[in-house]
Amino acid sequence: MYPLYKLPAMFAVAAGLFLLAATPLCAATISVFAAASLKEVINELADEYAKKNPAMKFIKNYGASGQLAKQVEQGAPADIFISANTEWMEYLKNKKLVDTASIGIFTYNTLVFAGMPGKASSMQDLIKLERIAIGSPKSVPAGEYAMEAFMKAGLDKQLEKKLVMAKDVRECLMYAERGEVDGAFVYRTDALQVAKNVKILFTVPQDLYPRVNYPLALTASGAKKTEAAAFFAFLKTSEAKAVLTKYGFQVR
């Protein structure tokens, strides 16, 4: 047992430790809402940035761009928003939830069909398949691009009942990896970085869908934070572009 008179001192030490442990909570946090396909890139960029600015903490939220836009609309604390298509950026712009002046293009990508080797080699082969995963076109841009490509290729009616709707592009790829679907429409970078079992079977012809671009912007609340603006500027440097290129993204 400790002598009684020492107890107040112990309390003081404990309180001091508690305060020390609590201080990092007061450090600046930057919260980034980004399309699921950007996960590895943003993780690496945030890590690099945090190395130079150790006081900076990141909150990263990845998901379907439409879902993220809805979360921002409902008041989720986001400083930076990166969408995988223009539609959801426009949506937030119209609601005045992003800083219009900050909107720019982060990077570009291409849509591919990934699956077990030999399943298909062109859009026309898709009719022979049983199950195809796409992101739910209601909120996942990759699914929207895929639906547009089906429509342009005149395949939408034939494929209708074969489409498994995933909640984001990564879940799509996971279905293909497990072999539960014959293949999935994902971005080239997803297939390159994440896929282990599946291979890119074909690239969707560019004339079937608009070019995949990732607009980025500071949100209305993020524009007021200098830390967020500084990281936002970092995302546009050549250093960031080098990381994007490393992961297979196109920067122009």
Binding residues for other proteins, rule: CB under 8 A, are: 64, 66-67, 69-70, 73, 88, 91, 131, 133, 136, 138-139, 160-167, 175, 178-181
State the minimum distance, in angstroms, from the CB of residue 181 to other proteins: 7
Give the nearest distance from C-beta 27 to other proteins in angstroms: 31
Given the complex with other proteins, which of 162 and 241 has the nearer CB atom?
162
**3-class secondary-structure state, position 217:** strand
* Nearer to other proteins among residue 28 and residue 103 (C-beta): 103
CB of 6 or CB of 161, closer to other proteins: 161
B/e letters for 89-117, b = 16+ CB within 10 Å, e = fewer, are bebbbeeebbbeebbeebbebbbbbbbbe
Q: Which residue, 110 or 219, is less far from other proteins as judged by CB?
A: 219
Angle at which helix 238-246 crosses helix 39-52, to 10 degrees, equals 140
Q: Which is nearer to other proteins, 110 or 139 (CB)?
A: 139
Closest approach, Cβ 211 to other proteins, in A, equals: 22
- Give me the least distance between CB of 165 and other proteins, in Å please: 4
Q: Which residues are CB-neighbours of 225 under 8 A, at least 6 positions away?
A: 28, 30, 79
| Tokens standing for residue 244 | 């994007």
Alpha-carbon distance 129 to 77, whole Å? 42
- Over its C-alpha atoms, the chain yields an Rg (Å, rounded) of 22
The H or E element containing residue 46 is helix 39-52
Task: List, in sequence order, every residue forming a beta bridge with 217; answer none if it has no partner.
Answer: 81
Q: How far is the CB of 219 from other proteins (least distance, A)?
A: 15
Nearest residue (CB) to other proteins, 119 versus 188: 119
Nearest to 103 by CA among 238, 226, 219, 217: 217
Give me the least distance between CB of 63 and other proteins, in Å please.
8
The number of residues in the chain equals: 252
